[in-house]
Amino acid sequence: MEISSRLLEEAVDEVSRLPGIGKRTALRLVLHLLKQPAEQTERLSEALRTLRTQIQQCRQCHNLSDREVCDICSNPKRDHSIVCVVEDIRDVMAIENTGHYRGIYHVLGGKISPMEGVGPQDLHIDTLIKKAKNGEVKELIFALSATMEGDTTNFYIFKQLGETALRLSTIARGIPVGDELEYADEVTLGRSILQRIPFEGSLNR
Ligand code: ZN
């Protein structure tokens, strides 16, 4: 795509690096911004800059947070003896939206995927095992998507735990196999948390 302005071209190039945004869409977005008051673009760049420099990972659960310890982990009303293991912040948001969960989370940051070169060492599994053995935790709920990667990750964690008195459960598979949690409707997801099943019962091996 030939663009007559170098400044415009640079902006389009940057925007088109975003996932799912082609050059044409990037051009449309940039032209849209140009039509808006300058303050809007300034607010956008400021929001992104602040996000980038100030957002952090919760020290306890690895969820994205404005503070060292996130609002969920620092809330004394949450049940710290139940830990729900999820892939990323979108799953935390999906489960929070159901209003049916009062425990805390552990965000792995992905799933084990040999195809994509993601191994256990790339995920927050060590801190989960440590947390699971701290004496305060009584139950782990595996809430990864029901894909091969999700199952592999659950099983790896299960093995790492070794002999344990923890109650291990997995969300009931009202969630269609292969679906991502964030696309499950709130009622289905809420029910699947309440009707969770023992993890070992979910292993068909
Ligand atoms: Zn946290």
pTM over 0.85: no
The residue range of the domain holding 156 is 67-202
Residues 121, 127, 132: CA angle, nearest 5 degrees: 125
pLDDT for position 56: 96
Distance CA 2, CA 50 (A): 33
Please tell me the distance between residue 92's alpha carbon and the centre of ligand 1 in angstroms: 10
CATH of the domain at 140: 3.40.1360.10
Distance CA 99, CA 39 (A): 37
Please tell me the distance between residue 75's alpha carbon and the centre of ligand 1 in angstroms: 9
pLDDT for position 205: 46
* CA 160 to mean position of chain CA atoms: 21
Please tell me the distance between residue 63's alpha carbon and the centre of ligand 1 in angstroms: 6
CATH of the domain at 20: 1.10.8.420
Please tell me the distance between residue 197's alpha carbon and the centre of ligand 1 in angstroms: 25
Are both 14 and 86 inside the same structural domain? no
Q: Would you say 119 and 112 are in contact if contact means Cβ atoms under 8 Å apart?
A: yes
pLDDT for position 116: 92
Please tell me the distance between residue 74's alpha carbon and the centre of ligand 1 in angstroms: 7
Residue type, 2: E
Please tell me the distance between residue 111's alpha carbon and the centre of ligand 1 in angstroms: 19
Are both 79 and 147 inside the same structural domain? yes
Are both 113 and 162 inside the same structural domain? yes
Please tell me the distance between residue 105's alpha carbon and the centre of ligand 1 in angstroms: 7
Mean pLDDT per 10-residue run, the chain (205 residues)? Answer: 90 96 96 96 96 96 96 97 95 92 96 94 96 92 89 93 89 61 71 78 59
* CA 109 to mean position of chain CA atoms: 6
Please tell me the distance between residue 89's alpha carbon and the centre of ligand 1 in angstroms: 11
